[in-house]
Amino acid sequence: MSYPGSRLSSMRIATWNVNSVTARLPRLLAWLESSGTDVLCIQETKCAEEQFPAEELREIGYESAIHADGRWNGVALVSRVGLDEVVKGLPGGPAYDGAQEPRAISATCGPVRLWSVYVPNGREVTHDHYAYKLEWLAALKEAVAADAAGPRPFAVLGDYNIAPADEDVWDRAAFEGSTHVTEPERAALAALRETGLSDVVPRPLKYDHPFTYWDYRQLCFPKNRGMRIDLVYGNGPFAGAVKDSYVDREERKGKGASDHAPVVVDLDV
């Protein structure tokens, strides 16, 4: 059901790489209800479209749009304020191993247009996946340019698999020669911002280093050895409506947590 944008005065939007919606389902449902989130952009669903828990989400008031193939990728949008003009995939996006991976989905939710994106990891700088990552980001820039420059609040949220600056990793030296911090990746992010987008989650927030991802291994979360790679890039009308933002570190704690934390943005629209 479409939600008339003129009736909305405030809106809570979030992005979360859940690292398997099946494994995370109890936490996902509980978090949506406790956080009061209106729209959630999900990445790494790791399920086929027919396996996505649309019915469970509907029971707590959310519509779902899913783009997935049952492998390790997959993206979704869930909304309780409308879900219209859904587009699955990245228009003009490159293929990898002969197929376009399910890494992008967009929809209009109330008064805003949103994309949920799961940018390719890149694996290693010398790997074909790294070149694919840069091609994918270039295609994303072209695909969002018109909406980014438009009058409607618009944002691209998700797991970008890039730390925008050295301050966005726990130890820059530990990433020397690795993906996620290279100049070409950061240049691709800068080019995306040149379409009229900006990072609407400022640094620092509550914590000196508002990381969004911590590896499961080597006690990275307790030691706060993390990265800020889950980003919210909004156009001028979107950024101008932001009244608050935060990383929900609490959701990274405890048994059965994803290795990413939700990033939340509150809007006056």
Which positions are annotated as active-site residues? Answer: 118, 159, 260
Torsion angles phi and psi, residue 136, rounded to 5: -65, -45
135 is in an annotated binding site: no
Check the annotation: does 171 bind a ligand: no
Q: What is the Cα–Cα distance from 165 to 136, expressed in whole angstroms? A: 20
Q: In sequence order, what are the residues at sequence separation of 6 or more whose Cβ sits closer than 8 angstroms to the Cβ of residue 194? A: 141
In 3D space, the residue among 164, 218, 157 whose CA is nearest the CA of residue 190 turns out to be: 164
Chain centre to alpha carbon of residue 78: 13
**Residue whose pair of structure tokens reads 């944008």 in the numeric block:** 5
180 labelled binding-site residue: no
Tell me whether residue 129 is annotated as binding: no
Length of the chain as a residue count: 269
Rounded-to-integer distance, Cα 93 and Cα 97, Å:
13
The answer to the question of whether 73 is labelled as a binding residue is no
User: 171 and 225 in contact (C-beta within 8 Å)?
Assistant: yes
- Annotation-wise, does 44 bind a ligand? yes
**Which amino acid makes up residue 267?**
L
Cβ 45 vs Cβ 144: under 8 Å? no
Sheet containing 263-268: which strands, arranged edge to edge?
A: 63-67, 75-79, 39-43, 10-17, 263-268, 242-247
Whole-angstrom Cα distance, residue 22 to residue 27? 10
Spatial distance between the Cα atoms of 214 and 169, rounded to a whole number of angstroms: 10
Rg of the chain's alpha carbons, rounded to an integer? 17
Binding residue numbers: 17, 44, 159, 161, 259-260
Positions at the binding site for Mg(2+): 17, 44, 159, 161, 259-260
